[in-house]
Amino acid sequence: LTVQNVPSLDLVERVCAGDRRAIARMLSRAESGGAEAHEALDALYRRGGQAHVVGITGVSGSGKSTLVAKLIAVALRQNRKVGVVAIDPSSPFSGGSILGDRIRMGEVAGHPSVFVRSMATRGALGGLAHGTLESVDIFDAAGYDMIFIETVGVGQDEVDVVRAAHTTVVVSAPGLGDDIQAIKAGILEIADVHAVSKGDKPEADKTVSELKSMLGLAVAAGGIKRHVPVIKTSSSAGEGVAELLAAIDAHREALVASGQYEQRRQSIRERRMLKAAEQVLHEAFERGRQGRMADLVADLAAGTISPRSAASRLLAHIGMEVTR
Amino acid sequence: LTVQNVPSLDLVERVCAGDRRAIARMLSRAESGGAEAHEALDALYRRGGQAHVVGITGVSGSGKSTLVAKLIAVALRQNRKVGVVAIDPSSPFSGGSILGDRIRMGEVAGHPSVFVRSMATRGALGGLAHGTLESVDIFDAAGYDMIFIETVGVGQDEVDVVRAAHTTVVVSAPGLGDDIQAIKAGILEIADVHAVSKGDKPEADKTVSELKSMLGLAVAAGGIKRHVPVIKTSSSAGEGVAELLAAIDAHREALVASGQYEQRRQSIRERRMLKAAEQVLHEAFERGRQGRMADLVADLAAGTISPRSAASRLLAHIGMEVTR
């Protein structure tokens, strides 16, 4: 334990006590991603493990953010603490990635049991914003019962969110065309719960029945092996929101009852480990460009070695570095 | 050189001589992904490097596959050899992943200078089908001048294809709604060339001008720093197809002239190396579950170590294995 680590570990205790300023500072450290935060983040990781992590995804314009705000309101009335990591660049929450953590959430804004963190995305081809999963750990260690990860329903972000969440909710708005439906087919199977937003629109019932029939086909084809509820919600009328929260809770309970919850948690941990290893790999390669890996880069450029052989050399090098 | 490797290396020579049966066999070995094919694939990788690799992406229903068939017809009239790797599950080409390589391509079907390979995808959350990039290497070594990778324009497949291609073409069909456009915004910046299909439809001109204005905005905002042509095509009338092929060629020529071509090739090589290293990592972890990595898995499950610490132990282990 070196002197400069002490403040970080002190911060860990304050985060675990639920101190909002400590949480905010820790979130910033997680997002900036420096090695000096690793020890504190590892400590927080070991202190968590109680929260229900819920991924919420859907194309932009699906009413996802408004629905999340309504879900939070219901959860607050049940005396829960709710954390939100918003990584949808089009979300009013993470419009706040420019405004820091100032967000417009209507009735739940500024509530002491809600903490919203907006993350900058890495761009269209990016993958999860740096620190997303660490932010979940921080909320978890700080005693938040339910943590929403909100992401736009396209691309790598979504894949990563689904693989990090215990329960995944896909939000669909009524009245989308066939082309959207074709895209949706791809995300149909990732949902544990489907929410249809804007339930006051006349087309909402059609969307509900379309989703149900698509799910029916997927079940018949063996692509889906469980019951996936479809919940019609209306953020303006407040209808269906409590049912949606109940369906999310029921999904967790069913996982726990069947023993799949621990299984899912373990696969999340393993995936995070592999992702962390990949990050070490990328960083080692970037760092090594000028130094010990310069030969490797030159051989690759000359085409004298294949990417596969280069990979072995890279891994051997990293193995030595890590062991040292 | 062991005895069992000889047939593979003999196969390499036959592939390089353009032998179609040898190519087909090598493609199957690449797709099945066994370690016994590594040496031959590495040898083929070193024999390639001449082909122009073109990624073609667009949502299903965009008329992408028909357009690729027309592009091939034009390329054949210019005495080029064309390889196609089709990884769009909805494509009539890769409907053939069930039918093997029997495909319905109209006028270009069965032409001795065309080789189409359809790949099974890994499913909705999958990433590139195994062997996709190796298939490109095989066509390249076999003397194919132009290699199309056809993929559906959503998710991780597309990201990987874009990062593996020298030139990326995004195909848009006219008459898509605002929701699609919103999704498109994400893929606007990845295109080197935009193609609007179904140019005989009355709405095609509107789609062309919308794309141009979106591109104009992106250029003004600094998101795009180059001229991106928008080409209206009609597969039925055969219009715009030669222009599209010319725009693809012009993109490569511009890259070569500016020195960016070698830069892009190098970043493709480095990305492939990193991907290969990631694969070694995943395989080592899977293999190690029962043996030397059982402790690691148990510690992870107990929550006593963080994914980051586990990653270091995994990398140290792999480093030793690779060096041995």
pLDDT at position A180 is: 54
d(CA A65, CA A41): 28
- CB B137, CB B23: distance < 8 Å: no
Q: Helices marked H in A121-203 — which ranges?
A: 132-141, 156-164, 178-188
- How close is the nearest chain B Cα to the Cα of A222, in Å? 14
- CB A292, CB A313: distance < 8 Å: no
Flag whether residue B36 sits within 8 Å of chain A, measured between CB atoms: no
pLDDT at position A172 is: 87
- CB A192, CB A169: distance < 8 Å: yes
pLDDT at position B142 is: 98
**Higher-confidence residue: A113 or B324?**
A113
Q: Using the beta-carbon criterion (under 8 Å), do A183 and B183 form an inter-chain contact?
A: yes
Residue length, chain B? 324
Q: Which tokens hold the place of A288?
A: 């090594």
Q: Using the beta-carbon criterion (under 8 Å), do A125 and B45 form an inter-chain contact?
A: no
Q: Using the beta-carbon criterion (under 8 Å), do B319 and A314 form an inter-chain contact?
A: no
Cβ count near B20 (within 10 Å): 12
Q: Using the beta-carbon criterion (under 8 Å), do A61 and B182 form an inter-chain contact?
A: yes
pLDDT at position B155 is: 56
pLDDT at position B182 is: 44
Q: Using the beta-carbon criterion (under 8 Å), do B306 and A282 form an inter-chain contact?
A: no
- How close is the nearest chain B Cα to the Cα of A111, in Å? 31
pLDDT at position A95 is: 39
pLDDT at position B179 is: 46
Q: Which tokens hold the place of A272?
A: 């995070």
Q: Which of A27, A285, A220, A130 is nearest to B270 (CA)?
A: A285
- To test the contact with chain B by mutation, choose from A90, A162, A273 the residue with the greatest count of B C-beta atoms within 10 A, namely A273
pTM equals 0.74
Q: Which of B116, B120, B85, B119 is nearest to B103 (CA)?
A: B116
B282 contacts in chain A (CB < 8 Å): 274
- How close is the nearest chain A Cα to the Cα of B110, in Å? 31
pLDDT at position B174 is: 86
Q: Using the beta-carbon criterion (under 8 Å), do B59 and A182 form an inter-chain contact?
A: yes
Return the H-helix or E-strand segment holding B58. Answer: strand B52-58
Considering Cα of A83, then A89, then A90, then A94, what sign does the dihedral take?
positive
- What residue in A sits closest to B289 (Cα-Cα)? A270
Amino acid at A73: A
**Percent of the residues in chain A that have a pLDDT greater than 70, as a whole number:** 81
pLDDT at position B232 is: 96
| Mean pLDDT (whole number) for B286-311 | 86
Flag whether residue A298 sits within 8 Å of chain B, measured between CB atoms: no
Flag whether residue A181 sits within 8 Å of chain B, measured between CB atoms: no
| Prediction ipTM score | 0.78
- What residue in A sits closest to B62 (Cα-Cα)? A179
d(CA A199, CA A231): 9
- How close is the nearest chain A Cα to the Cα of B311, in Å? 5
pLDDT at position B2 is: 45
Flag whether residue A176 sits within 8 Å of chain B, measured between CB atoms: yes
Confidence of residue B151 (pLDDT cuts 50, 70, 90): confident
Q: Using the beta-carbon criterion (under 8 Å), do B315 and A179 form an inter-chain contact?
A: no
d(CA B266, CA A220): 46
Radius of gyration of chain A from its Cα atoms, rounded to whole angstroms: 21
**Percent of the residues in chain B that have a pLDDT greater than 70, as a whole number:** 81
Alpha carbons within 13 angstroms on the beta-carbon side of residue A67 total 35
d(CA B112, CA B20): 9
**Pairing of the two strands A52-58 and A82-86:** unpaired
Q: Helices marked H in chain B — which ranges?
A: 6-16, 20-32, 38-47, 64-77, 96-99, 132-141, 156-164, 178-188, 204-220, 241-258, 260-288, 294-302, 307-323
pLDDT at position B77 is: 94
- CB A12, CB A40: distance < 8 Å: yes
- How close is the nearest chain A Cα to the Cα of B293, in Å? 12
Q: Using the beta-carbon criterion (under 8 Å), do B41 and A308 form an inter-chain contact?
A: yes
- How close is the nearest chain A Cα to the Cα of B151, in Å? 13
- What residue in A sits closest to B43 (Cα-Cα)? A306
Residues of chain A scoring pLDDT < 70 = 1-9, 60, 88-107, 109, 120-129, 153-159, 176-187, 324
- To test the contact with chain B by mutation, choose from A91, A122, A125 the residue with the greatest count of B C-beta atoms within 10 A, namely A125
- To test the contact with chain B by mutation, choose from A158, A268, A281, A286 the residue with the greatest count of B C-beta atoms within 10 A, namely A281
Flag whether residue B218 sits within 8 Å of chain A, measured between CB atoms: no
pLDDT digits (tens, 9 = 90+) for B220-270: 877 778 889 999 999 888 899 999 999 999 999 999 999 999 999 998 998
> Has residue B276 got a pLDDT over 70?
yes
Residues near A130 by beta carbon (within 8 Å), at least 6 away in sequence:
A31, A33, A119, A122
> Has residue B143 got a pLDDT over 90?
yes
- What residue in B sits closest to A37 (Cα-Cα)? B308
